[in-house]
Amino acid sequence: MAEILSALRSLMASHSPPLHALIVPSEDYHQSEYVSDRDKRREFVSGFTGSAGLALITKDEARLWTDGRYFLQAMQQLSDQWQLMRIGEDPSVDSWISDNLPREAAIGVDPWCVSVDTAQRWERAFAKNHQKLIQTSSNLVDEVWKNQPPAETNPVIVHPLEFAGRSVAEKLKDLREKLAIEKACGIIITALDEVAWLYNIRGSDVSYCPVVHAFAIVTLNSAFLYVDKRKVSSKVSSSIQENGIEVREYSTVSSDVALLASNQLDKDTGLSSGQNGVCESGTCEAEEKNNDLIWVDPASCCYALFSKLDAKKMLQQQSPLALAKALKNPVELDGLRNAHIRDGAAVVQYLVWLDKQMQEIYGASGYFLEGKGRSKKRSETMKLTEVTASDKLEGFRATKEHFRGLSFPTISSVGPNAAVIHYSPQPETCAELDPDSIYLFDSGAQYLDGTTDITRTVHFGKPSEHEKACYTSDSTQVLKGHIALGNACFPNGTNGHALDILARIPLWRYGLDYRHGTGHGIGSYLNVHEGPHLISFRPQARNVPLQASMTVTDEPGYYEDGTFGIRLENVLVIKEADTEFNFGDKGYLSFEHITWAPYQIKLIDLSLLTPEEIEWLNTYHSKCREILAPSMDKNELDWLKKATEPVSA
């Protein structure tokens, strides 16, 4: 690590102008949350492996900013040469730079790896002390990364209409209608999941995310896909071109954005005017004269492309594809429901297997009974670790129809590790399972018809009264918050910021909280974290109202550093609610649970649940039995029946 910092500082000193600091973001050229191995530059320089963070290197300091999900992980992974900066508690990176670097300091960043919003916010902060954000012509980290992985060259795959639900032609028509309304002549699409969704393509360039490294530009009468052509077979190329899309090399997007800015891009294509668009022959020319804005999403468009455009002819607002993608069509919703049924079956099969293993290997009392684990002799080949257990869960999922891999690295965590919110077990260092400690697993899968994400917390020995209390009591009840949010009924126009409190009130009563949002959207065989909506305390949760046919997770938690962590998570579909009244004619919304796996009764103090909560729990468990039974063998079904037996206070 010292050699990397030294090499970067040498490049910073020789840069023109010399750089007082270098910012190394986590993001790739598309502002992705999860990036390919080649793009893990921040991880390379810092050693911190979390998905969210930003590194700052100065002449004599190295600091890393990350959010509350990763505080513990960062403390464990950062060397003494790095200082952890806690987002929400410590000054932001731009504030810190403004206050601590000299006047007229030059701060370097690769403009391909930072969004327009972020770069402009930094520039405003730096201007106070006449500091400047410098766009480096190359990525300095790449210059010192001797064994940087090669660029991915995985094949582009056409996503069938039977799973997508809407054709490319329909999506392009809708998009062009939005362009016309906003007086825009074209849009630059940089978010990988938006490109994949719009053109009904998928890939495997980024682990856990079925996306392709690609850009797209759509005008009123043309459409382009910028991708490494080695990834596109002749069959796939023909399918793409049939939809009026021209395939161009990934690297040409920069020059084509410049052509778009000078109104030359359409003239440079051989495609017929108006194909798959709203602009018919004879009207395109008139339309183009009135529509001269270029639409960019400042949250996802990289600063490098933005810098090639004329600021006076830009429409800077959220991509219209973000909301269109989030509003699932009926085919996508049915696919998600079916995917979650298969996924729930895999989770139950895993719990059945794990229950048996914990009893046989460790002498645990098991999933249903309370009692201290008995000491049993076992060989090294018999022991269960966080990694071997999660591998088994993946194995159960892999047997299911349409399985295409995991949707994120499985969080398989025992005892103190469960307190690390986004814990990622490694084979060399992971913990062995413990019959007398809480076990939390947060996992999901990619299926052709949907993406899944589920968390359950279990105990195979005797949970302490404190652990029980933290699960459901009035003081720190995760389950009650989970039920409260899932049962919410709310008027149209309500955003996720307003609902977040429902899962937190029980914790707040006793001065407790958790450092992550309560819910995120989820893709249809796309990214497991999908916007633009979310349920969170963060201000951006106010930006987009929740709407019918959106998906969102419900995942409150409670974590005691160094001791244990508890989280429960289901995926919900937002639906129209059938209410007795309709105040203000707004219409009301509610949630449909589509995740199916039991909650462990042993970890619930039933005396602390209200009659309504017990009724909800029994109803949910009854549906679990009914929905998952066809996927179970006799032994699994017997276990499931026992796990979902009706309870009372």
pLDDT in tens, 383-407: 999 999 999 999 999 999 999 999 9
**Mean local confidence (pLDDT), 163-178:** 98
In DSSP terms, 283 is beta-bridged to: none
What is the C-alpha separation between 535 and 494, in angstroms, rounded?
A: 11
> Token pair of 616, please?
């909800």
Written as one letter, the residue type at 92 is S
* pLDDT given for residue 513 in this prediction: 87
* pLDDT given for residue 377 in this prediction: 53
514 CB-near residues (< 8 Å, 6+ apart): 421, 504, 507, 556, 557, 558, 559
Question: Model-level pTM?
Answer: 0.93
Domains of the chain with bracketed CATH = 1-144 (3.40.350.10), 157-266+290-326 (3.40.350.10), 330-369+379-643 (3.90.230.10)
What is the C-alpha separation between 226 and 195, in angstroms, rounded?
A: 10
What is the C-alpha separation between 260 and 265, in angstroms, rounded?
A: 5
What burial class does residue 565 get, using C-beta atoms within 10 Å of its C-beta: 0-12 exposed, 13-18 middle, 19+ buried? buried
* pLDDT given for residue 274 in this prediction: 41
- For residue 284, pLDDT over 70 is answered with no
What is the C-alpha separation between 255 and 261, in angstroms, rounded?
A: 10
b or e along 357-394 (b: 16 or more beta carbons within 10 Å of the residue's beta carbon)? bbbebbbbbbbeeeeebeeeeeeeeeebbbbbbbebbb
What is the C-alpha separation between 102 and 123, in angstroms, rounded?
A: 15
CA distances from 87 to 32, 299, 367, 458 (A): 19, 19, 38, 31
309-318 confidence digits (pLDDT tens): 998 999 999 9
Does residue 215 sit in helix, strand or coil?
strand
Residues listed for the chain: 649
**Mean local confidence (pLDDT), 105-129:** 97
What is the C-alpha separation between 568 and 61, in angstroms, rounded?
A: 39
* pLDDT given for residue 642 in this prediction: 98
What is the C-alpha separation between 140 and 146, in angstroms, rounded?
A: 12
| DSSP sequence for 13-59 | HHSSSPPSEEEEES--TT--SS--GGG-HHHHHH----SS-EEEEES
In DSSP terms, 87 is beta-bridged to: 90
| DSSP sequence for 240-251 | HHHTT-EEE-GG
- Angle of helix 465-472 relative to helix 478-486, nearest 10 degrees, comes to 20
Q: Lowest-confidence range among 97-106, 284-293, 588-597?
A: 284-293
Residue that has been written with the tokens 């992985």 in this structure: 149
What is the C-alpha separation between 89 and 68, in angstroms, rounded?
A: 9
431-489 confidence digits (pLDDT tens): 999 999 999 999 999 999 999 999 999 999 988 777 776 665 533 478 999 999 999 99
- For residue 283, pLDDT over 50 is answered with no
What is the C-alpha separation between 228 and 221, in angstroms, rounded?
A: 23
**Mean local confidence (pLDDT), 362-377:** 80
% residues pLDDT > 70 (the chain): 94
490-511 confidence digits (pLDDT tens): 999 999 999 999 999 877 887 8
**Mean local confidence (pLDDT), 69-82:** 93
Tell me the pLDDT of the chain averaged across its residues. Answer: 93
> Token pair of 28, please?
């790739």
What is the C-alpha separation between 442 and 420, in angstroms, rounded?
A: 12
Q: Please give the radius of gyration of the chain, using alpha carbons only, rounded to the nearest integer.
A: 26
Q: Lowest-confidence range among 142-151, 364-373, 577-586?
A: 364-373
* pLDDT given for residue 494 in this prediction: 97
What is the C-alpha separation between 275 and 469, in angstroms, rounded?
A: 62
Residue 646 · residue 619 · CB < 8 Å: no
* pLDDT given for residue 468 in this prediction: 72
Confidence class for position 137, pLDDT limits 50, 70, 90:
very high
- For residue 277, pLDDT over 70 is answered with no
**Mean local confidence (pLDDT), 583-603:** 96
* pLDDT given for residue 561 in this prediction: 87
* pLDDT given for residue 16 in this prediction: 96
**Mean local confidence (pLDDT), 605-633:** 95
In DSSP terms, 25 is beta-bridged to: 54
